[in-house]
Structure 1
Amino acid sequence: MDKLLGRVITGSVTDENETDYFVQANGTTFRLAKSEIKKPLKAGATFKGFAYENEDHHLTITRNAPQVQVDHYGWGTVVRSQRTLGVFVNIGLPDKDMVVSLDDLPSMMELWPQQGDRLLIALREDNKQRLWGVLADTDIFQAIAQAAKKRMENANVTATVYQDKLVGTRVMTENYELGFIHPSEREVEPRLGAQVQARVIGVHDDGTLNLSLKPRAYEAIDDDAAMLLAALEHSEAGHLEFSDKSSPAAIKAYFGVSKGQFKRAIGHLLKADKITQHDGQLWLKATSTDDQTTD
């Protein structure tokens, strides 16, 4: 059965029963579900399909070949994990999930992929004729990557984690750009296979991205500060005749918050460099608009 499993092979129909045809290739017989075939196959007919062993340990061949094969990489979806074995990945077969060995996964189990996460894998056959999922390495990701455009600076992107290291996290975006997240640009380390929402903080000349998982300053502000910022943005001249010296009654009447909340909101916006305060008024800084924000 050497070099049959995990590949698209060609065989000949030798027999059938009520539910299956039997296809032989290089002396090995595979089951082919009749439900896949629209026109009946005759004995001796040639059939081409993907060969594998299903979860019931039956040698099976299917015309619906998955993208993931031996030496062919494709995306699969994690369906479950087993501490003593690894993670099971759905590659599109109805009766077989492929296992990525725990030996190929992060040493910290909390960084293992979880149900619904995505992995770019190929297949390999071991010396006991079992198929395993193999994670794509950096060379594979570089080979399929697209160069990022300079105009992506400060853009939001969705990306999939493909490598976790102490120096940082490597990801690939939905559009196949490569990105790097330094530990200082994340609150927690994302797990392998997780999809993350990131923002571009740098575009290198080689077309790779520096990314951050931290929110922009204006996105990180609390509700009261966001309300105050919105009021300034909608004011005619970009300023309001209020300050931290304004009376509690005037603040409550206009903003609907206490003076303590108002002062904390001012402090937050001052720290975020979104406003200035002078002449008894609050002023919106020019860099507070979305199209000018670069942090």
Structure 2
Amino acid sequence: MQLGKTQTLKISDKNNSGWILTDESGEKAFLPKVFTNDEKEIDEEIEVFVYQDDGKLKATTEIPLAEVGEYAVMSCVQSLPSGAFMDWGIIKDLFIPYKQQKSKIIEGKRYLVYLYVDEDLDLITGTTKFKRNPQYQDLPFQKGDKVDLLMMNESELGWNVVINKKYIGLVYASDVFKKLYPLSEESGYIKAIREDGKIDVSLQPEGFENIDEFKQKILNKLEENYGLLYLSDKSSPEEIKDELQMSKKNFKKALGGLYKDKIVDISEDKIRLL
């Protein structure tokens, strides 16, 4: 039985309270009646998430915000001296012991949480203490891959981010072209996987093959401003960043493509939609 994971189990028995589910090794988990489906029969399979409750394995068809080995943003529903209970999307709240809190968790506030199994207690546990830019091996990414990001915190180098709920990476300050906020969600692109296993991420795709995205940004802004934009290839990087949230390099590539396609006209201090 994979504790803290979504998995497919077989229905081995039914009673008035719910179903008994079994994995290939014969280990059992209980699925309460509220999550059962009368259309399924004994020996059929069902996909569930497995957790513990009062020392017993239970299952739910609810989808948690995160599984063991993943990060998610969760709200605190109760804070006690011993620890905090977090809403992680299923019927049972997630417990974060006081010693696993980077700072005291306050009821009603949202926090980035990592899930793991406490080996001493054999319990699914949360923590707000995690390593910054850890080293990884055998990463499932290639340069240029589009990924989902959770913004962690800003540092001297840039922004620490969670990639696809599982990995920590870094967006360098030089690659940030818009206002960012902790715990917000963004799309990103793998910029580099370094020899030490650390991951560099960009908020924008790189290269001419991705220039259509920047063309569309310029066109959208032109349409918002009645076909006129007071920028040109002579504008400063700061002006371009403030107006379009992109680098001057990508702006010039995209603008050149729009001009070549006869979609815009470029003057010394402005762009006009044709």
Larger radius of gyration: 1
Q: How high is the TM-score relative to the length of structure 2?
A: 0.48
Structure showing the higher helix proportion among its residues: 1
